[in-house]
Amino acid sequence: MAVTAADPSRVLTAVWRIESARIIAGLARLVRDVGVAEELAQDALVVALEQWPVTGVPDQPGAWLMATAKHRAVDVLRRQSRYRQKLEEVGRAQPQVDDTDLAAEADDYVGDDVLRLIFTTCHPVLSTESRVALTLRLLGGLTTDEIARAYLVPEATVGQRITRAKRTLADKKVPIELPPPAEAAERLASVLEVIYLIFNEGYSATAGEDWVRPALCVDALRLGRTLATLAPREPEVHGLVALMELQASRIPARTGPDGAPILLQDQDRRRWDRLLIRRGLAALDRAGNTFGPYVLQASIAACHAKAATADATDWTRIAALYDVLAHVSPSPVVELNRAVAVANAHGAVRGLAIVDAVELPDYPLVPAVRGELLSRLGRDAEARAEFERAAALTRNARQRSLFEARAAALDG
């Protein structure tokens, strides 16, 4: 029975979004190459685009796509096997491929396949931007064009990154498998980093006219939630999900009607998304009593989420959490945030001392924080110069207006 009312190409796009990661991951296990796996999946997509308008949308569109792609994979493997048989006649014996086994294997539960694929697309052998592009494409189900628009770069650039990434994985013979125990922590950290990078590009866009691009946050959240389902025993995965849910809960309040950014202390907290806060706190609970960098950052975000007003924020606890974070995962950005927390908990002078030691050349938030703390100390002329420097450094138009406004207000 076919659904006649639905537009096949629209159904296909939706099904692709939902199923593509599982299809590509299942195929990658069979053909042992993510590039070939994606091509096979794309082939199935083309077949569907040709057939569905004629035959109607199949009852189980996801299963249909998987079966079609799988048939093609078996063909490819059979061809390879025949090729091997030819080689065999020349010399060395190779095991023969059994179609029935292959088909059964392809039907296995695919959760682990998706996990293996995430570890592969986030492999340290790839550049960071390639990991991001390949992950969004293969796991997020985004088209190259969608990734390009999200990152405000030409489509060709993203296409090249993805092509290069696939070639690197093939050239370096990166196996599509879960990392060996000795590498597990480092490899998981890479996966989490890629997902959080995607989230952050959506949450505080580094370039362009918009301050937030929520669709990218949602893509990162979905990847994180999937990962948490597949690797439920990793506290840092839950920590990352908690952090993203809690940060995303503020998106409705982070932008004014004119698109201008609204800082945390000025946000209308009634606009925070209670559902995401609830989900974030639940994810943090699942992380248990651990102290990894994402769990710590999520704990800090939870302090904000629990404060009914900006004045009610428990800055002493936040400053203490930043102290631990600075120990566990030291970085200039953590130091900068710690400076703000310490300033709020223990006074601007102590915060300023921390900022002055931060080495982050050309990072606009360093002068912005310094400007804020100087203005609290009544050192307006110095504060103004810092905000002007911050405005000159940022590539985000909305952020620039914010810093210019702060500088102008100090003109007095």
Shorter beta-carbon distance to another protein: residue 143 or 160: 143
| Interface with another protein, residue 266, by CB under 8 A | no
Backbone angles phi, psi at 208, to 5 degrees: 100, -175
- CB 296 → another protein: shortest distance, Å? 23
* Residue 11 binds another protein (CB under 8 A): yes
Indicate whether 17 belongs to the interface with another protein (CB under 8 A).
Answer: yes
Q: Does 10 bind another protein (CB under 8 A)?
A: yes
Cα 211 to the chain's mean position, in Å? 17
Q: How far is CA 221 from the centre of its chain?
A: 7
Q: How near is the Cβ of 13 to another protein at its closest, in Å? A: 6
Task: Tell me: does residue 391 bind another protein (CB under 8 A).
Answer: no
Q: Would you mind telling me the total number of residues written for the chain in this entry? A: 412
Tokens for 218, please give them. 């949602």
Is 275 a binder of another protein (CB under 8 A)? yes
Interaction between residue 15 and another protein (CB under 8 A): yes
- With contacts defined by CB under 8 A, name the span among 46-54, 215-223, 291-299, 346-354 that binds another protein: 215-223
Cβ–Cβ under 8 Å, residues 162 and 45: no
Q: Binding string to another protein for residues 216 to 255, with x set by CB under 8 A, is what?
A: --xx-xxxxxx--xx---------------------x---
User: Could you say whether residue 3 binds another protein (CB under 8 A)?
Assistant: yes
CB 233 to another protein: min, Å = 15
Q: Of the two residues 136 and 325, which places its CB atom closer to another protein in the complex? A: 136
CA dihedral 397, 399, 404, 409 (to 10 degrees): 140
Cβ proximity to another protein, 56 vs 252, nearer residue: 252
Q: Does 286 bind another protein (CB under 8 A)?
A: no
Closest distance to another protein from the beta carbon of 193 (Å): 18
Interacting residues with another protein (CB under 8 A): 3, 6, 10-11, 13-15, 17-18, 59, 61, 111, 214-215, 218-219, 221-226, 229-230, 252, 275, 279
